[in-house]
Amino acid sequence: MPCRSNPVWRACVVAGVSLGLSACLTACMTPPPTPQLADAALWQDAAFSPPQQPVDVSQLFTLSDEMQRYLRVELGPRLQSEGRLRGLYRALQASQQLKLDYDARITRTAAEAFEARSGNCLSLVILSAAMARALGLNVHFQQVQVEASWSLAGDVLVVNDHVNLVLGQRAQGSVWTDDSGMSLVVDFLPHELMQGQPSRTITEATIVTMFMNNRAVEHLLSGAPDDAYAWAQAALRRDPNFTPALNTLGVIYQRKGLLAPAEQTWQMALRQQPDSPGVLGNLAAVQRALGQADEAARSEARLARLQREAPWGEFRRAQAALQSGDAGTARALLERLLKRDATQRDVHVWLAQAYLQLKQPEQASRHLALAVQHSPTHEQGLYAGKLARLQAAVSP
């Protein structure tokens, strides 16, 4: 695995544990000056083909016929007995009701998430909001200031932020009777993880932009740069201040070999969010590739200070140590990361490699087994196969 990986952001953390998608979403609360995205120099349309499907978010919150039937028929009795607010809340949070599962691979619309009964955190928030509005309930979106989780997708480091939903009082003009005037938070992470975490209200427009950036990241990861470009561009036309989409656009340019536009885009992102380790790391790498040694050195010095606070900073240092042959240092760094989050699959995978270099195959096998345990279902076969081969190799 390569040591250097481009961080991209997705909005939302996995239920029960990140792409959601939106990497290190804005920690700064004051809106920065609007960048001049109308400048034709930023866009590189000539380098990309039209997307396979047009970018369209008009149906993001639209209820399907099956969703409407579910609210009317299956959920109707509960809504009548418990009230719309409590009834919907319990249906969303109870595993025996909607039976919603976490699936990080794609960000879905409300109707898509309902049909699949799965989605990432952002998808499930969109689904919940659509159903709440159909019942005449007010909804408010929140970004929760938890430590961002991260994962590797090939050589791309995906940083995930977290959003949730507040179900509020009855909307004006609703045909439904009002509940009690109370509000409830719908969150797809365990309550104990969210207890006391600061949050800030975000608009529906921000949720839509997060969705568009997520789709851009997902197309990038699936090897569809033309579609990724279309979604990132549409996100930035909607909200020029959305730093994660600027970062995504820079990665798209870098992967396309458009290094100068990538550098320009990351510079713009840094003007909005100067203390973003992910953006700064991407910028430093492209400055090196462009032969801008002095600029890269300054960026790397700033990055070294910031990475001590980034959740993936120690992981990158562990990768570098392992690839330079210093498995002992890598092991110490990775073990320290596991004390913060024992469910981090990629840490277990790299720790297994460190133990192999240290000629401790039993420990390597143990951490590969933990990587299988903490992987999404569709990825478990990959690590299970590696584990089986390792166990066969060390068996007497």
Per-residue pLDDT of the chain (396 residues; tens, 9 = 90+): 333 456 665 554 322 212 223 322 222 233 344 444 445 668 999 999 999 999 999 999 999 999 999 999 989 998 989 889 989 988 887 755 677 776 667 899 999 999 988 888 899 899 999 999 999 999 999 888 766 666 666 667 777 777 888 887 544 444 334 445 567 887 766 554 555 667 788 999 999 999 999 999 999 999 999 999 999 999 999 999 899 999 999 999 999 999 999 999 999 999 998 988 889 989 999 999 999 999 999 998 888 887 665 656 677 788 888 888 999 998 998 888 888 778 787 888 888 889 888 988 888 888 888 887 876 655 555 555 555 555 555 444
Number of domains in the chain: 2
Q: Are 352 and 368 in contact (CB under 8 A)?
A: yes
Q: What is the pTM of this model?
A: 0.74
Residue where a domain stops, chosen among 217, 240, 258: 258
Same domain as 176, residue 71? yes
**Residue 225 and residue 349 share a domain:** no
Residues 57 and 194 in one domain: yes
Q: Which of 204, 225, 258 is the last residue of a domain?
A: 258
Q: What's the one-letter identity of residue 137?
A: L
Q: Does residue 284 fall inside a structural domain? A: no
CB 158, CB 151: distance < 8 Å: yes
Which residue range forms the structural domain that includes residue 345?
322-394
Cα separations in angstroms, 198 against 67, 192, 244: 32, 14, 20
For residues 250 and 385, membership in a common domain is answered with: no
Domain co-membership, 12 together with 113:
yes
Same-domain pairing of 66 and 147: yes
**Within a domain: 61:** yes
Residues 254 and 360 in one domain: no
Indicate whether 70 and 162 sit together in one domain: yes
Per the domain annotation, does 291 fall within a domain?
no
The verdict on 175 and 251 lying in the same domain is: yes
Single residue among 237, 258, 279 that ends a domain in this structure: 258
Look-up of token digits 């004390």: 339
For residues 65 and 183, state if they share a domain. Answer: yes
Say if residue 103 is in the same domain as residue 237: yes
A 10 A CB-CB count for 175 gives 7
> What's 387's domain CATH number?
1.25.40.10
Asked, for residue 277, whether it belongs to a domain, the answer is no
- On whether residue 308 sits in a domain, the answer given is no
Which pLDDT value is given to residue 173? 44
Residue 374 and residue 252 share a domain: no
pLDDT at 43: 94
